[in-house]
């Protein structure tokens, strides 16, 4: 089996990533856990710092975002719905109660959630990557049936844990909290499928190069200015 470090390098090159991909692991062995982290406004706020270092989180570290705590299996739906922050989202018409009921969520409660650079991970459950529009084009060539996730952005984690490649354009809450650049999207890849998806990316990028070379030659041969 290819190492996570090698897969991280290949994924980065194939998608032209400008930031390291992140591994998400549920219930990592206690002996491997690091010291407690500083709680953040939401679980998605751990994604960017985890590009550089390992972060071992527990439910309390996610507690400032009721919806994110629910999507990550850390609290039940009725508890998330009772949160003051959830009430603000519903009262503003940003989401409806039906949206919350239909949101993807982990079907189990993890005791811990670890975020770290993919290159340092062993058998991650989910892999996160920040994509440019061109990278999304490339990914769609390899995974044409990928899921475009609706808000909130954090649903891509349980979707990928369930086996779907999911892409989010972001959501207003997450973009504000994380400072995600306007021209970036986020994708989540099932960890168990990462190697096969990388192999499919290698095939699809070869096809992209072939048609790009054809298009360049066509322009040069038939549309060159005098």
| pTM given for the model | 0.92
Q: Nearest CA to 70 among 117, 119, 106, 118?
A: 106
Read off the tokens for 115. Answer: 């975020």
User: Mean pLDDT of successive 10-residue segments in the chain (226 residues)?
Assistant: 89 96 92 75 96 94 96 97 95 93 96 96 96 95 96 97 97 94 96 96 88 86 76
pLDDT number for residue 132? 96
Residue 181: what pLDDT? 93
Tell the residue number behind the tokens 């980065």, with chain if given: 12
Confidence (pLDDT) at 31: 61
Lookup: tokens for 79: 């508890």
Q: Which residues contact 135 (CB under 8 A, 6 or more apart)?
A: 15, 16, 17, 129
What is residue 33's predicted lDDT score, i.e. its pLDDT? Answer: 65
Report pLDDT for 1. 57
**Tokens standing for 221?**
């041969």
Q: What is the predicted pLDDT for the residue at 214? A: 87
Please give the pLDDT value at position 209. 84
Look at residue 32 in the predicted model and tell me its pLDDT.
67
Q: How far apart are CA 21 and CA 129, in angstroms?
A: 5
Characterise 122 by phi-psi region: left (phi > 0), alpha (psi -120 to 50), beta (else). beta
- Structural domain boundaries of the chain? 4-222
């Amino acid at each position: 089996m290819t190492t996570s470090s090698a897969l991280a390098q290949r994924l980065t090159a194939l998608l032209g990533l400008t930031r390291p991909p992140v591994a998400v692991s549920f219930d990592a062995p206690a002996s491997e856990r690091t010291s407690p982290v500083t709680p953040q406004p939401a679980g998605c706020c751990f994604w960017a710092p985890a590009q550089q270092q390992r972060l071992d989180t527990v439910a309390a570290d996610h507690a400032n975002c009721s919806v994110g705590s629910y999507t990550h299996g850390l609290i039940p739906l009725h508890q998330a719905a009772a949160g003051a922050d959830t009430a603000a989202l519903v009262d503003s018409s940003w989401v409806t109660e039906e949206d919350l009921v239909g949101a993807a969520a982990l079907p189990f409660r993890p005791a811990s959630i670890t975020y770290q650079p993919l290159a340092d991970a062993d058998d991650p459950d989910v892999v996160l990557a920040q994509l440019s529009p061109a990278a999304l084009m490339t990914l769609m060539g390899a995974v044409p049936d990928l899921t475009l996730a609706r808000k909130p952005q954090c649903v891509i984690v349980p979707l990928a844990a369930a086996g779907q490649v999911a892409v989010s354009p972001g959501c207003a809450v997450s973009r504000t909290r994380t400072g995600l650049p306007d021209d970036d999207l986020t994708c989540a890849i099932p960890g168990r499928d990462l190697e096969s998806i990388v192999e499919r990316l290698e095939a699809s990028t070869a096809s992209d190069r072939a048609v790009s070379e054809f298009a360049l030659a066509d322009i040069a041969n038939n549309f060159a200015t005098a």
